[in-house]
Amino acid sequence: MSVFLGTHQNRFDAKGRVSIPAGFRSVLRAQATEGESLLILRPSHTQPCIEAWPATAFARLAQPLDQLSMFSDEHDDLAAALYADAYPLDPDREGRIILPDFLREHAGLSDSVTFMGLGRIFQIWEPAAAQQRVAEARQRSRRVTLPAQKGGEG
C-alpha cells in the first residue's frame, strides 16, 4: 500500500501555483480511480492546515453517512462538515496546484508551504506552524502506546 511519507517544503510560483512533492504525486496516481479527481482538499477541523485526501480515501471517510437517515440533523451536520468546504482538483502535468483562497486563509499561507505526510493523507501547512505541530506531536506521542497486532508480535 502506498502512503504519504516525509515533510517537504515548496514555494508558490508567480502564478500562485505550488508543486506537490513527487513522492506524494506517485501515491496519488497509484490510488487514482478512472474518472475521479486525484485529490480532495478541505480545511482541517482541528488544525490550521489543509487536509489533502486521495479521492478514494475521501469516499471511504464519507461512507458512514450512508448509515444515517438522509433527513436527520446528524446526517446534515456531518455532510456539511465533510462536503461544504471540500475542493476536488487535479494537479497539472508538472504536479502543480492552485489552492483556493479560503483554504490559503485557513492555513495562513503566504509564500511557502510545508507538505506533511500522514500515511493515508497529507496536510499542507504554513512552514513555522508545521514545525510547531511536529514538535508538539513528538512530545505527546511519547505517552502513546500502540495496540498489539492480532496474530503477530506486539
pLDDT digits (tens, 9 = 90+) for 10-37: 999 999 999 999 999 999 988 887 777 7
71 within some domain: no
Task: Name the β-bridge partners of 40.
Answer: 53, 88
Q: Which residue has the cell 492546515?
A: 49
Domain count across the chain: 1
Quote the pLDDT of residue 119: 95
Quote the pLDDT of residue 78: 87
Q: Is the pLDDT of residue 152 over 60?
A: no
To the nearest whole percent, how much of the chain has pLDDT over 70? 97
154 within some domain: no
96 within some domain: yes
Output the pTM of the full model: 0.87
What is the band of 154 on the pLDDT scale with cuts at 50, 70, 90?
A: very low
Q: Which residue has the cell 440533523?
A: 73
146 within some domain: no
Domain that holds residue 17: 7-65+79-141
Dihedral sign from CA coordinates of 7, 12, 17, 19: negative
Please report, for the domain that includes residue 135, its CATH number: 3.40.1550.20
73 within some domain: no
1 within some domain: no
Per DSSP, the three-state class of 143 is coil
Amino acid at 86: A
25 within some domain: yes
pLDDT tens for residues 38-49?
899 999 989 999
Q: Mind giving me the DSSP string for 66-126?
A: GGS-TTSHHHHHHHHHHHTT-EEE---TTSEEE--HHHHHHHT-SSEEEEEE-BS-EEEE-
147 within some domain: no
